[in-house]
Amino acid sequence: MTGWRVGYSASNHAIAKIISNYVSHSTGAPATMSQIAAATALTGDQAHVSAMKEAFRARRDYICRRLSAISGIDFLTPQGAFYIMLNIEACLGKTLGGRHIASDGDFTLALLECAQVAVVPGSAFGAPGFIRLSYATGMEKLAEGIDRLEKFLG
């Protein structure tokens, strides 16, 4: 459920207690509508889940195939979610789009301004030198985004 910020754990009591202690001090409860949506997603008709899983697998495979052909970035194939973390350390210190790239933040800003591709700097997740790219969109937009990234990297 992209963006709903609802999760659950199937864990033993000791782990559940640790998670509960952490969550109680790091976030509030999910909004009521998010809780209802999550309950409906878990208990409702599951027929669509296989189709969605296949669509995300196809997107992941497509984006990995395209990215593996681009020099200057590296990544591990995601095993879950719908994000891919790209290692852009080889781009640091270079000039891209007429801008000096000293950090993942510089890279994301230059990519947005020069190629109109929005990504998130890895430093926001404790991973400087990386960017996070989402593939939770249609194939046409993915292809266009990768085309633009490829052109940006020159």
Predicted confidence (pLDDT) per residue in 28-69, tens digit: 778 899 989 999 988 999 988 899 999 999 999 999 999 999
pLDDT computed for residue 1 by the predictor: 64
Q: Percent of the chain having pLDDT more than 90?
A: 74
Burial 52-83 (b: 16+ CB within 10 A, else e): eeeebeebbeebeebbeeeeebebeeeeeeee
Residue 87 phi, psi (nearest 5):
-80, 115
Spell out the domains of the chain, with CATH numbers in brackets. 13-43 (no CATH), 48-153 (3.90.1150.10)
The number of residues making up the chain comes to 154
pTM metric for this prediction: 0.80
